[in-house]
Amino acid sequence: MSEHVAIRNQADIRAIERLPAHERCPETSTYALIERGTAIDPDAIALHFMASGEAWDQPQEITFAQLLGRVRQTANLFTDLGVGPDDVVTYLLPNLPQTHFVLWGAEAAGIANPINPLLEAETIRDICNAAGTKVLVALGEMPGTDIWHKVETIHDKIPSLEKIVRVMGPSDEAKGIIGFEEAVAAYPTDRLTSGRVFNREDIASLYHTGGTTGTPKLARRTHFNEIVLASNIVLAAELSAEETVLCGLPLFHCNGTCITGLAPFSVGAGVVLLSPSGYRDQGVILNFFKIVERYKPVFFSTVPTVLGVLLNVPKADADISSLRYVICGAAPLSVELFNRFEAYSGMKIMEGYGLTEVACASAVNPRDGERKIGSIGLPLPYNEIKVAILDSDGAYLRDAKNDEIGVIAVKGPCVFSGYVEEAHNQDIWIEDEWFNTGDLGRRDSEGYLWLTGRRKELIIRGGHNIDPATIEEALYQMEAVQTAAAVGRPDAYAGEVPVAYVQLKPGANTTEDELLAGARERIGERAAIPKAIHIIDEIPLTAVGKVFKPALRWDASRRVYEEELAALGDLVTSVSVDVDEDPIHGTKATIRIECSADVLSETVHKTVADILELYTVHFEVELSRTSHQ
């Protein structure tokens, strides 16, 4: 996986694919990948960990030999606790070196199940029960975190749970709690005591991808899914031994764990852990360019929100020339933000696309070829992507034509083996082998893919997946609510944020503020709390009586654009916005502006572009002049 192949177009990708995936990626486990990366130079630094953004120049450094040794010890601990290839180790941890030990040790012994520790305790309990958690690993009592308190709240409500391991905390034999640091020290660093023989189709991990309360969606990912993904990232980023990458995304998400974890480890490249809180650490953001100068990373992976914030951080005289790329995904990136960040930083943005269900990344703009701003680029090697036209029941009709919008479907060795709960596997396959992503898009004449919307209802807030049912169920618990629907509203920095629409029962009397307060009390996921709730006379329905959410998303976009365009002030006489479906862009906002004859058209168009520069909903301006009697 260390070969450097310039991916410029589809022909380069096909050339790579002449060697079958299982021959180009012969390893049978993620553990074997880390072993191979370690063998390149065991004394090279695998992890640079900063305790906080303020302590950016005082890192804890861990060599590859130490990393592999700790992974082995952790796997051996889990084996001793009864974990086998089919057993699940769940962890609730911030970004720590121990998180990598636990993650890859869990995959070496059994199945890893990362969970967002910021979720509410009841949601964590439901995920553990869905996963069948046998061992739970969690951060001990620490100032500023309530992770351990959540564990104490739920541990006796997980029937499958047998052992609890506390990171950065002592053992407590009376309570059956194992102190991680003291326990792993007793195990060998030179081998796996289990003697496990891996099969590349063994399940490596279960990642939470959303789901309503009590029925979380857990994606089953094989070792081979993650091996091929790591290989593709190494190719896409031109990564080699002894280089470094930055990790600021959380280690409960596959971007943090695989793109800025497994991929660099697999070729002997180091990872800089940007504090336990990653990009949420204000010190990391304020010192970002100093961090780059010190550690000389070649790329980092992020979401548009972070790029927008970094534009306001002075570079001063920091040398950031080591940065070749920034890999950006999870949410749409506006053309203006793309251009401004590239001009400011001097690096290339590689926009990509992927899902947890396809190991993390399926397509990316080529680093050495044409990058089409706003597109998600070309499929990565071994990822077949097509745009499919489905009927009203979701059945396949035909492949879409160039620039025809349809559902994006993916197949290949990175595609997962389905969700843990069988109910979630209904209608996710097209023609039995193509995974229906639920995303809408089109392919242009040169093979580049463009996202145009989502058929599925997931709301993505700064890379955080939110199931609208989480919001809707909370609203339906309120006596006054007859019908509720949650959708994403465009946001300049997070891509989108959740909002909700409510139709009240006849005669009910409540306010939007009261509904919002009730939602805050009932929703167990902070990111899912809606930014606004709109009471409307009637929720739009389809002909068969289902909520027609596209109309609500269009209304949310209209409201945002009209609010933002109020900044035009006296420059114009009136402004109105209509948002509707568009055959090329998926959604289009038509902005109708009336102004006096003495205002230059160029001035109006430029001002509108400046106001909406960080939004991704395509818009067109129709300008008219005030008539004088």
- Which domains does the chain show, CATH number per domain? 10-437 (3.40.50.12780), 459-539 (3.30.300.30), 552-625 (3.30.300.30)
Q: Angle, nearest 10°, between helix axes 97-109 and 64-80?
A: 50
Q: Which residues, in sequence order, are bridge partners of residue 451?
A: 441
Give the per-residue pLDDT at 629. 47
Q: How far apart are the first and last CA of the chain?
A: 74
**Cα–chain-centroid distance for residue 196?**
31
Question: What is the structure's pLDDT at 6?
Answer: 62
Phi, psi of 69 (to 5 degrees): -60, -45
- Structure tokens that stand for 456 in this block: 């599925």
Instruction: Enter the pTM of the model.
Output: 0.83
CB atoms under 10 Å from CB of 600, counted, come to 10
Contact 466, 212 (CB under 8 A): no
Taking phi over 0 as left and psi of -120 to 50 as alpha, with beta for the rest, 427 belongs to left
CA distance 4 to 147: 42
Tell me the mean pLDDT per 10 residues along the chain, length 629.
Answer: 58 82 94 98 98 96 98 98 98 98 98 94 94 98 94 97 97 94 97 97 93 74 97 90 94 94 98 95 95 96 82 90 86 75 86 91 86 88 93 87 93 95 90 90 92 74 77 88 90 88 91 94 86 93 75 94 93 92 85 90 91 88 79
Q: Which of 493, 527, 528 is nearest to 616 (CA)?
A: 493
The number of helix segments (H) and strand segments (E) in the chain equals: 19, 30
pLDDT score of 211: 55
Helices (H), 17-120: 21-24, 30-40, 64-80, 97-109
Backbone angles phi, psi at 481, to 5 degrees: -90, 125
Contacts 24+ apart (CB under 8 A), 576-579: 579/554, 579/555, 579/617
Helix (H) or strand (E) holding 476: helix 468-476
**Is residue 365 within 8 Å of 346, Cβ to Cβ?**
no
Q: Residue 452 has what pLDDT?
A: 82
- Please give the pLDDT value at position 213: 47
How far is residue 20 CA from its own chain's centroid?
28
φ/ψ bin of 70: left (φ > 0), alpha (ψ from -120 to 50), beta (otherwise): alpha
3-state secondary structure (DSSP) of residue 103: helix
Could you give the 3-state DSSP secondary structure of residue 379? strand
What is the largest distance, in Å, between two alpha-carbon atoms of the chain? 91
- What tokens does 331 get? 């949410």
